[in-house]
Amino acid sequence: MADKLVREITSMDEDFTQWYTDVCVKAELIAYSHIKGFMVIKPYGYAIWENIQKELDKRFKKTGVENVSMPLLIPESLLAKEGELVNGFAPEVAWVTAGGQEPLTERLCIRPTSETVFSDFYKDDVHSYRDLPRLYNQWCSVVRWEKETRPFLRSREFLWQEGHTIHATKEEAEDRTQMMLNLYADFLSEDMAIPTIKGQKTEKEKFAGAEATYTIEALMHDGRALQSGTSHFFGQKFAEAYDITFTDKDNKLKYVWQTSWGMTTRLIGAMIMVHGDNEGLVLPPHIAPTQVVVIPIMQKKEGVLEKAREVESTLIDAGFRVKVDDSDKSPGWKFSEAEMRGIPVRVEMGPRDIEAGQAVLVRRDTREKITVAIDNLAEEIKNLLETIQKDMYERAKNHRDTHTFEAHSSEEFSDMIQNKDGFVKAMWCGDRACEDKIKEDFGATSRCIPYEQENLSDVCPICGKPAKHMVIWGKAY
């Protein structure tokens, strides 16, 4: 019985896609609904999202951001005002065409993103430079009618946050764009133990309607890339389309400068694929819903369960997220279940441990066992959780670095992109034709033009023309 839960997960080396799906379902993160691409996020999965939301929201508010709520539905005429945006999202839009039994005189779009409603709101809300900046964010769900779906990574409805800010000057807007990208990168490294590469999207890959899109790219365990957060500089495109103007200090009417930035429940998928193993989830302590699980051994023996609850109370008072597994399952089953759920630290204690005044701590990430005095549990666990957090980041960073390759010639690029799992760094001429050829020939895309540039050669390995940038290429989710 104890091993059955583990055996039900397909090995990631055998079939990474099936492994991922098995973990999502068997760790009870999600359940499938009757509509393709619309998933139920179960309590444990939602608790992970709540912790992501809480930590991100705290960081947002430190920069002056306020939360708002915008309408779910967007009139077609409103969506169509910014042509590049509507053309970019047209294949993914879901439409409402009737209200009750009555057909609508105008189709309503279920928001795939909210630039249009924010812009429509801002045009009436802002009048003077004294009203600026507006630093708004909303936590909500959006709908995009994806053809291929996968839990968290690409679902037709997903949860996210979308920030939409307007500013009096271009410089302020550009600063906010970079600020939010850096905030995202810091959050992933510090709280989710995921290293990323910061950079700018190419013209082909940028967000529809943006002047520039900046991204953080993460590398999954199987060597595929995952776009993990984006920040967009819109310039005045939306301001001009929606007539968002203000009277400046010089008493002249001017258009605002605008930004947008977002992160989604895709982060849960990233966390699974960066840290997980064949036993299930491995959760970073900062995000784990339960940081410590106390498992009493021979719990029916006098005093064992009582001592476990006493330890639980002490650890909760010390600020940890703790639970006692007092179910009637066997200890082996409880161990497997705790591993499946990725709980960072397991505390094992039986009659002999209690008599000796000690407990055994087991790390989820390495399975290392440490015997500690019960009286010192809070301090030991505090140090252990921070060690786990740092070690998980370092392992992920080492994996990314050892799976990042340099291509200096066409032959090297072809070999690496086809036969290596990971990022490929190569120079690029800046011509979209080369970018299109790489996607067509190899199924790889430009992930970003990284901020940290290297001069690997003077020419583009695809066409031989003079190189303009070093680009990170990869196959992506």
* Domains of the chain, earliest start first: 9-275 (3.30.930.10), 292-387 (3.40.50.800), 404-474 (3.30.110.30)
Closest CA to 423 of 393, 392, 399, 456: 399
Residues 6+ apart with CB under 8 A from 407: 413, 416, 417, 424, 425, 426, 456, 461
Neighbours of 401 (CB within 10 A): 12
pTM here is: 0.95
- The percent of residues above 90 in pLDDT, for the chain, comes to 94
- How open is the CA angle 125-127-131, to the nearest 5 degrees? 75
Low-confidence ranges of the chain (pLDDT < 50): 1-3
Helix (H, G, I), strand (E, B) or coil at 18: helix
pLDDT (0 to 100) of residue 90: 86
Per residue in 218-236, pLDDT tens? 999 999 999 999 999 999 9
> What amino acid is encoded at 426 in this protein?
A
Instruction: Establish whether the linkage from the previous residue to 91 is cis, with ω within 30° of 0.
Output: no
Per residue in 242-300, pLDDT tens? 999 999 999 999 999 999 999 999 999 999 999 999 999 999 999 999 999 999 999 88
pLDDT (0 to 100) of residue 5: 54
Tokens (6 digits) for 268:
């849960």
Please tell me what DSSP assigns to residue 466.
Answer: B
pLDDT (0 to 100) of residue 415: 94
pLDDT (0 to 100) of residue 2: 44
Residues 6+ apart with CB under 8 A from 275: 193, 281, 282, 283, 284, 342, 365, 392, 396
Strands 66-67 and 157-167: unpaired
Distance CA(133)–CA(169), nearest Å, equals 9
Instruction: Establish whether the linkage from the previous residue to 133 is cis, with ω within 30° of 0.
Output: yes
pLDDT (0 to 100) of residue 1: 39
- The gap from C-alpha 458 to its chain's centroid, in whole angstroms, comes to 35
Distance CA(225)–CA(186), nearest Å, equals 18
pLDDT (0 to 100) of residue 450: 98
